[in-house]
Amino acid sequence: MKESNFLDRVQANFLAGLVIIFPAVVSVAVLVWLFGTVSHLTDVLLVLVPKEWTHADHGKGPMFWYWSLVALVLTIGLVCLVGRCARNFFGRRIIQLVDAILLRVPLLNKIYSTIKQVNEAFSSNKSSFKQVVLVKFPHGDCYSMGFVTGEQKFLPEKAGEKVFSVFIPTTPNPTSGFLIFVPAHEITNLNLSVPEGIKLIISAGSITPDQGVPESMSPSTDLSSKT
């Protein structure tokens, strides 16, 4: 009996420790993987530095980790420099010129425009999402959380109601999902910001915000004011 209690305590302690350690181990593993992946892309910035300095075995082996760190820091600096330039008139003009050139290159323009639109949709300072809402999807007996992206005036109004486009993202990758068109009375507003809604989706509902109580089952007035 005592041996059984001892094993139960060991099992309980092991599970409790695993719950605490597992997120930290996974976070460190993801950080190491991310550093290794990014370093392969940023190492090219050190092309002007002799390989004998940056790589083992007199330039024939892998790059030293500290040089990869230097390349990563240099990349962050360059990104910050681009962001700095984007905040003044001449920098914006240069970025617009590069943007126009990329959009004129066949095949590349399709990829670039798609990535740019997705980036703008999920950017906190330039979001295409207007409101976090609930809609009946994929059938009438359950609700899905989505983001109103705008009023679709090209669609015929349903009984005098406005029709809105709602993006239903997938979990845990919110960059893919479903686009549906819903009349205003079938949309339920939520007291959530767009970042809170995205966080809720990425965490598969495990991270719940403090405020998420539906405001109204008839949000047409609020939605129309946001478009």
So what's the pLDDT on residue 133? 92
For 36-83, write each residue's pLDDT tens digit.
777 676 767 777 778 778 778 877 777 777 877 888 788 888 888 888
Q: Whole domain around residue 14: which residue ranges?
A: 1-102
Q: Are residues 148 and 206 in the same domain?
A: yes
pTM of the model: 0.48
Give pLDDT tens digits for 141-200: 889 999 998 888 777 766 567 888 899 988 877 778 899 998 888 898 988 888 888 888
Are residues 144 and 216 both part of a single domain?
Answer: yes
Residues 222 and 169 occupy one common structural domain: yes
Q: Is residue 122 part of a domain?
A: no
Please, are residues 109 and 102 in contact by the beta-carbon 8 Å criterion? yes
Do 95 and 1 reside in the same domain of the chain? yes
Considering 56, 84, 102, which residue would you say is the last residue of a domain? Answer: 102
The long-range contacts involving 92-96, CB below 8 angstroms and separated by at least 24 positions, are none
Domain match, 92 and 135 both:
no
Q: How many domains does the chain have?
A: 2
Are 94 and 51 found together in one domain?
yes
Residue 164 lies in a domain: yes
Collapsing DSSP states into helix, strand and coil, what is residue 71?
A: helix
Specify whether 167 is located in the same domain as 212.
yes
Tell me which residue of 150, 153, 152 sits closest to 129, measured CA to CA. 150
Write out pLDDT tens, residues 84-139.
Answer: 887 888 878 888 888 888 888 888 888 888 777 767 666 655 556 778 999 998 88
Tell me, what's the pLDDT at 224?
A: 46
DSSP per residue, 33-77: HHHHHHHHHHGGGGTTS-HHHHBTTTTTSPBPHHHHHHHHHHHHH
Please check whether residues 77 and 147 belong to one and the same domain.
Answer: no
Residue type, 82: V
